[in-house]
Amino acid sequence: MKKIISLFIISVILSSCVSIKSNLTTTSVKQQNHQTKTTQKRPKLVVGIVIDQMRYDYLVKFYNKFGEGGFKRLLNNGYDLKNAHFNYIPTYTAVGHTSIYTGTTPTNHGIISNNWYDKYQKKSIYCVDDANYKTVGATKGGNKSPQRMLTTTITDQVKLAQNMHGKTIGIALKDRASILPAGHTANAAYWFEGKDVGKFITSTFYMNKLPQWVVDFNNSGKANNYLNGTWNTYNDISTYTESLPDNNKYEGLFRGKHSPTFPYNLKELRKINGNYDLLKAIPQGNSITTDFAEAAIVGENLGKTNYTDFLAISYSSTDYVGHKFGTNAIELEDTYIRLDKEIQKLLTFLDEHVGKGNYTLFLTADHAAVPNPSYLEDLKIPSGYFKIEEFKKYVRTLTLKYFNSDKIVENISNYQLFLNKEKIKSLGLDVNKVEQIIADEIINFDKVYKSVTAHTLQTAQFSSGLLQTIQKGYNQKFSGDILFVPMPGVISHGITGTTHGSGYNYDTHVPLIFYGKGIKTGSSNVYYPITNIAPTISSLLNIEEPDGCTGRPIIEVLK
């Protein structure tokens, strides 16, 4: 009897073990199937396109000049967010690209401008300079890295989520527009070295020598060919009715030109306009960016594996053209008509080499731009120019009056004042009181509209308006002690062309279109900050958001 009971017990135990093993196996299979399905839902390639200095209204203003396969294809078949804005000051290139890809503002990611005064080293620094690395592909221009960016990017998160599989490539004419979006874990970031080089280069941060496909591209003669022709309008110049007359006083000039008028003899102009640097300032600079992006897709086999790759592209020539000619020039309109063709070319290439339905794309800008203030003044719209040298003299007068010293302010740049803390302490003064006195007084200077101290930004919370955008752009470790904002329409720039950097709508309102795999078709007028792009892509891919991310996913664009 005991033997029968023992056998029964053993039978039950064995049966239970088999059942448990079966359940574990079933659970494991389900988990593997879930993981496989999640991976299959991800696009094979994510493409981020940032257009430097593109205002949202260019999509509307030039809509009838665009073909069906470029911007219109994205608008009609993607999700158009018509009220996307940058939510901080300053709206500069490096800050814009970083904020898009980190999903946060300078408060967290640490890139507070293109160049800024380093109060520890007591000198001006550039956002991606890094003496620890050397140039690859030329003799100079490549001592760069993303190390001043303190948080991860969506591109980093894609790599981390895949155990460092998949590739990330950054491409732009500008180094900062390539390096910062590509993140810390990129396989490569490439940018165009002008002057007498005329090649795409990189840094030893990424590699020790250029891949063969890059060498072949640089040796192809494309850069030289683009500069051996003429820049004339793509369409008959009489049809450019969205712009001011070709010859007007608000536009800048290339060296060697006596008027800002078509045609532009590039072969002659390159001789006295920095040789290959000229390519950056004409629409052909966008063309070679597309060419190089296509070469990267083929050369790196992007979108062809079981992992998700990321291609970050920035079109920089729009910014150079905008700065020189302004927002109402035929040169600018022609640049966007031609860029539309480049977008169409890239989309067609992606269809052919990655496959329709295999890639997801977003298109936005790093900032917009203000119409030329002289033009606005002629229309009796409040605007003007901020005279920085006169402001510095004014501040010096203030510090002599209140503190009997002209050594109180160490640096003035980017609409910020950096105080000499050691000097203030040696005079027995209270830093916070010095800050407040200067902030209260500079508001009386012509064209200064708002001013605020670092102490206030650290102890108060602003929920709206310009002071909120200043606060989101303020970084306690790196920013100045007093920050101020010029009046609307006021810039620190020459009297021709334009610039950007403010928190006003003309600088903050940019396009934002999502397109491709996992994206709905539609549009929205709801306000969204640009910091929502990275978490939206994170949600699409079902991965962790960048570590400093403060944005939220835009759920309405996702299927």
Sign of CA dihedral 99, 101, 104, 109: negative
For residues 78 and 338, give the distance between their C-alpha atoms in angstroms, rounded to a whole number.
21
Q: Contact at 8 Å (CB) between 65 and 333? A: yes
Buried b / exposed e along 368-402 (16+ C-beta atoms within 10 A): bbbbbbbbbeeeeeebbbbeeeebeebbbebbeee
Q: Contact at 8 Å (CB) between 559 and 519? A: yes
For residues 219 and 270, give the distance between their C-alpha atoms in angstroms, rounded to a whole number.
19
Q: Contact at 8 Å (CB) between 89 and 486? A: no
For residues 275 and 285, give the distance between their C-alpha atoms in angstroms, rounded to a whole number.
13
For residues 491 and 157, give the distance between their C-alpha atoms in angstroms, rounded to a whole number.
37
Closest CA to 109 of 479, 366, 411, 455: 479
Distance from chain centroid for Cα 148: 15
- Could you give phi then psi for residue 541, rounded to 5 degrees? -90, -10
Active site residue 93: yes
Helix (H) or strand (E) holding 407: none
In the set 93, 152, 360, 469, the catalytic residue is 93
User: Cα–Cα–Cα angle for 411, 417, 422, nearest 5°?
Assistant: 65
Closest CA to 154 of 464, 514, 540: 540
The strand pairing partners of 264, in sequence order, are: 231
Q: Contact at 8 Å (CB) between 161 and 170? A: no
Closest CA to 231 of 194, 272, 274, 284: 284
CA distances for 516 relative to 175, 290, 356, 447, angstroms: 28, 19, 8, 45
Residues that are catalytic: 93
